Amino acid sequence: MPETNSPRRTPQNVPYQDLPHLVNEDGQYLFCRYWKPSGTPKALIFVSHGAGEHCGRYDELAQMLKGLNMLVFAHDHVGHGQSEGERMVVSDFHVFVRDVLQHVDTIQKDYPGVPVFLLGHSMGGAISILAAAERPSVFFGLVLISPLVFVNPESASTFKVLAAKVLNLVLPNMSLGRINSSVLSRNKSEVDLYDSDPLICHAGVKVCFGIQLLNAISRVERAMPKLTLPFLLLQGSADQLCDSKGAYMLMESSRSQDKTLKIYEGAYHVLHKELPEVTNSVFHEINTWLSHRTAGRGEAAVQGIMALPFLEFLLDLEEGTLPSSVSLTMHGSQKLATYYRP
């Protein structure tokens, strides 16, 4: 909701009364986007973006889902994009989770009985996991793209974490350095678009925000055993921001009876803006997974060229003998590893 005579303006100086927005519990205005199909939607999909970016970067993915007769909605998190708040600063990571749940509640009132899914990338993946763990009865499933579960060890060594905690007490606004855009994607054109996007925060990550991300990882670790919802997890093996070990941790720790992991060998962090063959596969996987679960057809069919016991899968993983793409599907006590090339 737009509100008449709103005195508030976006960080880009656009009146919120001219834009779709919501007001969170702290009174902060959040810019919203909606991709609505022409008819009654068969699903509601909330998209949770990553650190430093904004929800407009998910337009292509949202348009695809809209074409499947799904209503997609999103907002720029506090301190991001066209929402209020100091850039990439949040008092507590749970604010992000709380705002997502508020937005979901608002939309769900207009579409009672329509299943709700969460789609989250990077930091948005952590937000989605925590929201699902807090309110599992609200959601039907999760789509996670390179979720923040386990940070790259080089970025968060024991010494660096300790130093950050100390700095947060005395210099919370000190910059830890900018995100290196070259590690986001192997697609140079996408990296260039990222670098030139005025809605992305290109300033350095502050110590206080880094601490909130570390707090989020700890909370996700505690939440994983509580996660029972179906989920699709897409991960690049060469992700230098959210280590792929986190994907395997989530697969092993969660109690979901329907969970699928697909690893893209050599792919970087932003899989939905990667090399065309990767991005096309990501869109296909999301399309298929959501279509199956909104069509009432039960579990999606397992694709693959060979199935191995989970222990053998782990041995191959340790030896580094996996093919270019790995799909791991687990259903309850039966664990099935399916290898195939996209």
Q: Using the predicted structure, report yes or no on whether residue 270 has a pLDDT greater than 80.
A: yes
Q: What percent of the chain has pLDDT above 90?
A: 72
DSSP 198-241: TTS--SPPBHHHHHHHHHHHHHHHHHGGG--S-EEEEEETT-SS
Q: Which residues neighbour 39 within 8 Å (Cβ) at sequence distance 6 or greater?
A: 69
Highest mean pLDDT among 151-165, 177-191, 300-314, 320-334: 177-191
Q: Tell me, what's the pLDDT at 301?
A: 32
Domains for the chain: give ranges and CATH numbers. 16-301 (3.40.50.1820), 302-342 (no CATH)
Give the pLDDT of residue 23: 98
Interior/surface letters 201-240, b for 16+ CB within 10 angstroms, e for the rest? beeebbbbbbbbbbebbebbeebbeebebbbbbbbbbebe
Q: What is the mean pLDDT of residues 11-34?
A: 97
Is 92 annotated as catalytic? Answer: no
Catalytic site residue from 269, 281, 325, 327: 269
Residue 142 has a pLDDT of 98
| pLDDT value at residue 178 | 78
Q: Give residue 162's pLDDT band: very low, low, confident or very high (50, 70, 90).
A: low
pLDDT bin (cut points 50, 70, 90) of residue 323 is very low
Given this model, what pLDDT does residue 208 score? Answer: 86
Instruction: Indicate the range of 8-22, 101-115, 158-172, 211-225 predicted with least confidence.
Output: 158-172
Percent of the chain whose predicted confidence (pLDDT) is above 70: 77
What is the model's pLDDT at position 285? 97
| Unique residue bearing structure tokens 């809209």 | 66
pLDDT of residue 167: 58
Which pLDDT does position 164 carry in this prediction? 55
Among the options 54, 77, 83, 239, which is catalytic?
Answer: 239
Whether 46 and 18 have beta carbons less than 8 Å apart is answered as no
In this prediction, residue 206 carries a pLDDT of 85
Q: Which of 122, 146, 281, 325 is catalytic?
A: 122
Q: Name which residue leads in pLDDT, 154 or 114.
A: 114
Question: What distance in Å separates the CA atoms of residue 84 and residue 14, rounded to the nearest whole number?
Answer: 11
Question: Could you report the per-residue pLDDT of 57-78, keeping only the tens digit for each?
Answer: 999 999 999 999 999 999 999 9
pLDDT of 268 above 70: yes
pLDDT, tens digit, for every residue of 164-177? Answer: 565 555 555 666 77
The separation between CA 249 and the C-alpha centre of its own chain, rounded to angstroms, equals 16
Please, which pLDDT band fits residue 326 given cuts at 50, 70 and 90? low
Q: Is 196 a catalytic residue?
A: no
Residue 231: pLDDT above 80? yes
Q: What is the pTM of this model?
A: 0.84
Catalytic status, residue 185: no
